[in-house]
Structure 1
Amino acid sequence: MPSRPRLALIHATRVAIDPIETAAKELWPEAETISILEEGLSVDRAVTTELTRGLSERILGLSHYAKLANSDGVLFTCSAFGCAIEAAANQSVIPVMKPNEAMFEAAFKYGDRVAMIYTFEPAAKGMEQEFLEAAASRGRSATLVSVFTPKALEAKRDGDEDTHDRLVAETAASIQDVDVILLAQFSMASAAPLARTKTDIPVLTSPHAAITEMRKRIEAAERN
């Protein structure tokens, strides 16, 4: 393994790139990050209700490609491909992570009543299932309430971050009687500061949690 670890960041939309690259620079500046963008994944996922075999094979192929590019770990940043990423992780000799598994772990520290705000509709079902599986594996009776924020992702893609952040923050302000709020997509991280001014409930984002966990896994693999 080179003295500077290489982390592959695989994206299905370009709006996820800046949040995770920023988190990596803040939390693991010693690492080298390479971003791999395959926008067709989000385009094709948006028009199907289920994760197809073809999409799963593309996720696996991207994981293989990252390994061929001498990566020491792979972090997928789109939350709509959970089962496919798990399959890729099971076949990989290097750490491969789903985007939100570390954030779920952090959420349980706050309590069992969890709300999740999302802006990409196809991601919701898979993330809900992942959350419940994570809770069950820890013997937790956690509940998850998912809340969709319409038009926010479109604003983000159009470069209107202010509107995106305002819409997400307004959604956060409307949520009550939970212990913690999760922002489901990496692209939503920019809304966290404003959202935290609109609610007293803790608001978590996935990029920082994911980088922290991936660093642990790559460094553990290096020691072994």
Structure 2
Amino acid sequence: MSGNIRIGLVHATMNSVSPILHAFSQLDEKADLVNFMDEGLIYELNETNTVTNRMIMRLSALAGKAVESHVDAILFTCSSFTPYVAKIAELMPVPVLSSDMSMLEKAVDHSSDITVIATVKAAGPTTERMLKDIAAERNKTVRIKIFVLPEAFQALQKGDVLAHDQIIQEKIHEHKDDKTIVLAQYSMARAVESFDLPNVLTGPHISAQSIIQKALENK
């Protein structure tokens, strides 16, 4: 049996799986990863643009299954549900982290002017709200611009990864002089993997580091 820590990954879309697995593979500290999926959540969210109590219950059930699998910590990988993760975390006996919290904290710490690019409609305002909440906790004022590119998400769902990446890259290029650019979803990270863009923040690597640290602190 492996002596590694065990991390439960809770997904609402297949598009989040590859980026977060890749991020963990790049870390020095190795972890055993256990995946839990309810892909119907992201389809329902895209159709209704509303997070319901029933959807939160479904996410909680996935987290509960992770606990039953004896994980040391749980990472949610879909940023659209970030505002509800704290409520779920209260029910869990292990550390729980939302997909983008560490990245958003870093964005607020680094800049007062933040550009957010998302491909899921709900992720734009969700990310903006979280940034404002973090800034308020730090007694800081932030100016936020939001751009949502649903055509990129649609391209990725159809398997056209090149079109997905190009749409995101073009938007980044339009705002290349902005101080801090946040890519709101894990699935977007692939669009900038081959580029050195210090002003662009992506969630997978930052959150992988953070959840491993929380798991180690809790052992």
TM-score in same-fold range (> 0.5) = yes
Instruction: Decide whether the 8 Å contact of 1:28 with 1:211 is kept in 2.
Output: no
1:142 correspondence with 2:142:
yes
1:106 correspondence with 2:101:
no
Q: Cα 1:49–1:160, aligned 2, differ >3 Å: closer, same or farther?
A: closer
Q: What residue number does 2:217 align with?
A: 220
What are the equivalent positions in structure 2 for 1:58-207 lying under 5 Å apart?
58-175=58-175, 178-193=178-193, 196=195, 202-207=199-204
Q: What residue number does 2:56 align with?
A: 56
Amino acid at match of 1:213: S
| Superposed displacement of residue 69, structure 1 | 1.0
Q: Cα 1:150–1:45, aligned 2, differ >3 Å: closer, same or farther?
A: closer
RMSD of the alignment, in Å? 1.8
| Superposed displacement of residue 76, structure 1 | 0.8
Amino acid at match of 2:214: R
1:25-61 per-residue CA deviation (whole Å, 9 max, x = no partner) reads: 1115521011112111111112223211101111111
In structure 2, runs of 5+ residues without a counterpart are none
How many residue pairs are counted as aligned between the two chains? 218
Q: Cα 1:150–1:57, aligned 2, differ >3 Å: closer, same or farther?
A: closer
Amino acid at match of 1:207: P
- SS of match in other structure, 1:54: helix
Q: Percent identity?
A: 28
- SS of match in other structure, 1:47: helix
Q: Extract structure 1 runs of 4+ deviating beyond 3 A.
A: none
Q: What is the distance in 1 between the residues matched to 2:131 and 2:71?
A: 28
In structure 1, runs of 5+ residues without a counterpart are none
TM-score (norm 1): 0.91
